Amino acid sequence: MNAPEFSRTHRLDKIGMGESAIEIAATEDERIALSRRFGFKSIEKLDAVFHLHRDAQGVVARGHVSARLTQACVVTDDPLPAKVEQDFAIRFVAAPEAGAEEEVELTEDECDTVFYTGGAIDLGEAAAETMALEIDPYPRGPRAAEVLRAAGVKSEEEHRPVNALAGLKDLLAKK
């Protein structure tokens, strides 16, 4: 498996019993590589602030991801600016060992769960995934409806299956 494009590992033995704050920012090369991975035209900024502390299940990271990027309209390929300002709560839990029959108990709290192996967690990958999850996966620009209409694609409002059945109802009434 290849290393993530934006890897900022933080050793577990550096996380004490109190809370620690860590700020990270993606470099230009990392943003270019992440743009390729996620299919964006570009990522102009990707920063995150993490507040880490240990609990009984693992490490809890609360913080904020901030990103500016440019997506492509799925219809026209026009550039669409997008912004992410997202608070998050992630619980890092040790991955179960291969072949282990022991079940990992996931709590139903407000944290997303991320598994890790070894003696470190990857804050950069967590920030990149948080950003990607907040972006519209099928963005449409202002020209999308016009281009689709010109290509003969009906909008959801124009395509009404109920109206198609109305003619059948009239036919049955005549019998």
Q: Is 8's pLDDT higher than 90?
A: yes
Rounded to the nearest integer, the mean pLDDT of the chain is 87
Residues 29, 7: contact at Cβ < 8 Å?
A: no
Reduce the DSSP state of residue 52 to 3 states and report it. strand
Distance CA 122, CA 158 (A): 48
Buried b (16+ CB within 10 A) or exposed e, 50-77: bebeeeebbbbbbbbbbbbbebebebbe
Reduce the DSSP state of residue 47 to 3 states and report it. strand
The predicted-structure confidence for 80-104, as pLDDT tens digits, reads as follows 999 999 999 999 999 987 665 555 5
Q: What is the DSSP string of 69-120?
A: EEEE-TTT--EEEEEEEEEEEEEEEEPPPTT--PPP----SS-EEEEE-TTE
Model confidence pTM above 0.85 = no
Distance CA 124, CA 26 (A): 8
With pLDDT > 90 as the criterion, what percentage of the chain qualifies? 61
Q: How confident is the model at residue 64 (pLDDT cuts 50, 70, 90)?
A: very high
Q: Is 45's pLDDT higher than 90?
A: yes
Which residues lie below 8 Å from residue 141, measured CB to CB, with a gap of 6+? Answer: 73, 75, 76, 78, 80
Pairing of β 79-94 and β 59-72: antiparallel
Which of 11-20, 106-115, 122-131, 152-161 has the highest mean predicted lDDT (pLDDT)? 122-131
Distance CA 143, CA 146 (A): 5
The predicted-structure confidence for 140-158, as pLDDT tens digits, reads as follows 998 888 888 888 887 666 6
For residue 87, the one-letter residue type is D
Distance CA 64, CA 14 (A): 21
